[in-house]
Amino acid sequence: MTQAAQTRHKTGWYLLGPAFVAAIAYVDPGNVAANVSAGAQFGFLLLWVIVAANVMAGLVQYLSAKLGLVSGRTLPEAVGAALSRPARLAYWAQAEIVAMATDVAEVIGGAVALRILFGLPLLVGGVITGLVSLLLLGIQDRRGQQLFERVITGMLLIIAVGFTASFFVATPPPGSVIGGLTPRFRGSESVLLAAAMLGATVMPHAVYLHSGLARDRHGHPAAGPQRRRLLRVTRVDVGLAMVVAGGVNGAMLLVAALNMAGRGGTGSIDGAYAAVRDTVNPTIAVFFAIGLLTSGLASSSVGAYAGAMIMQGLLYRAVPLLMRRLVTLAPSLLILAVGLDPTRTLVLSQVVLSFGIPMALLPLVRLTSDRRLMGPDVNHRLTTVVGWVVGVLISVLNVMLIVLTVKG
Q: What is the pLDDT of residues 167-190, one digit of tens each?
A: 777 788 889 899 999 999 888 788
pLDDT at residue 4, as a whole number: 38
pLDDT at residue 262, as a whole number: 66
pLDDT at residue 264, as a whole number: 60
Contact by Cβ (8 Å): 111, 122: yes
Q: What's the pTM value of the predicted model, to 2 decimals? A: 0.88
Residue 289 reports pLDDT greater than 90: yes
Q: What is the pLDDT of residues 386-405, one digit of tens each?
A: 989 988 887 777 677 666 65
pLDDT at residue 65, as a whole number: 95
Residue 77 reports pLDDT greater than 90: yes
Across 225-229, 230-234, 279-283, least confident range: 279-283
Contact by Cβ (8 Å): 259, 280: yes
Is pLDDT larger for residue 13 or for residue 102? 102
Residue 1 lies in a domain: no
Kindly give the interhelix angle for 282-315 and 321-338, rounded to the nearest 10 degrees: 130
Give mean pLDDT, residues 72-92: 94
Q: What is the dihedral of CA 101, 107, 110, 114, to 10 degrees?
A: -140
- Average pLDDT in the chain: 85
Which span out of 48-57, 198-207, 311-320 was modeled with the highest average pLDDT?
Answer: 48-57
Kindly indicate the confidence band of residue 280, based on its pLDDT and cuts at 50, 70 and 90: confident
Residue 183 domain boundaries: 16-407
pLDDT at residue 11, as a whole number: 47
Residue 363 reports pLDDT greater than 60: yes
Give mean pLDDT, residues 39-63: 92
Kindly indicate the confidence band of residue 89, based on its pLDDT and cuts at 50, 70 and 90: very high
Residue 10 lies in a domain: no
Residue 246 reports pLDDT greater than 80: yes
Residue 370 lies in a domain: yes
DSSP letter (8 states) at residue 168: G
Across 14-23, 108-117, 195-204, 278-287, least confident range: 195-204
Is pLDDT larger for residue 239 or for residue 139? 239
Residue 232 reports pLDDT greater than 80: yes
Q: What is the pLDDT of residues 309-355, one digit of tens each?
A: 998 999 988 777 777 777 778 888 898 889 888 877 877 776 777 77
Is pLDDT larger for residue 6 or for residue 21? 21
pLDDT at residue 239, as a whole number: 94
Residue 5 lies in a domain: no
CA 319/CA 325 separation, integer angstroms: 10
Which span out of 6-20, 29-43, 289-303 was modeled with the highest average pLDDT?
Answer: 289-303
Across 151-160, 240-249, 364-373, 393-402, least confident range: 393-402
DSSP letter (8 states) at residue 12: S
Residues 6 or more apart whose Cβ sits within 8 Å of residue 282: none
Query: What total number of domains does the chain contain?
Result: 1
Query: Percentage of residues in the chain with pLDDT exceeding 70?
Result: 92
Give mean pLDDT, residues 61-78: 95
The CATH number of residue 104's host domain is 1.20.1740.10
Residues 6 or more apart whose Cβ sits within 8 Å of residue 279: 259, 260, 263
Residue 4 lies in a domain: no
CA 41/CA 54 separation, integer angstroms: 22
Residue 333 lies in a domain: yes
Is pLDDT larger for residue 324 or for residue 230? 230
Residue 2 lies in a domain: no
Burial class (CB in 10 A: 0-12, 13-18, 19+), 86: exposed
Cα–Cα distances in Å, from 348 out to 200, 354, 407?
Answer: 10, 10, 18
**Could you give the angle at the alpha carbon of 120 between the alpha carbons of 119 and 121, nearest 5°?**
120
Residue 9 reports pLDDT greater than 50: no
The closest alpha carbon to 303, from 201, 205, 159, belongs to 205
CA 213/CA 215 separation, integer angstroms: 6
Across 165-179, 229-243, 257-271, 314-328, least confident range: 257-271
Residue 145 reports pLDDT greater than 60: yes
Using only C-alpha atoms, what is the Rg of the chain?
A: 20
Residue 7 lies in a domain: no
CA 239/CA 59 separation, integer angstroms: 9
Kindly indicate the confidence band of residue 1, based on its pLDDT and cuts at 50, 70 and 90: very low
pLDDT at residue 7, as a whole number: 41
The closest alpha carbon to 368, from 80, 76, 91, 75, belongs to 75
Give mean pLDDT, residues 216-237: 90
Residue 117 reports pLDDT greater than 90: yes
